[in-house]
Structure 1
């Protein structure tokens, strides 16, 4: 998995305990949204 790919963001968020956002699985969201969510969780 490449650093900065959508799968990488999903993996990083799951390691931080985030599996869903507003009732939706992380895999449903676009990469730029996941990047912003990860920044807010750091």
Structure 2
């Protein structure tokens, strides 16, 4: 959440959020994606 807010404060207008992958770093839950997107 803090990383998304920081990116937005520096002018980002889009961020990538990854979910539902078999493996790999950076996978987050659908509920957290919804929470971040609602910010």
TM-score range, shorter chain: 0.3 to 0.5
Q: Name the structure with the higher strand share.
A: 1
| TM-score, normalising length: structure 1 | 0.38
Q: Name the structure with the higher helix share.
A: 1
**Structure with more contact order per residue of length (Cα contacts < 8 Å, sep ≥ 6):** 1
Q: Which has the larger radius of gyration?
A: 2
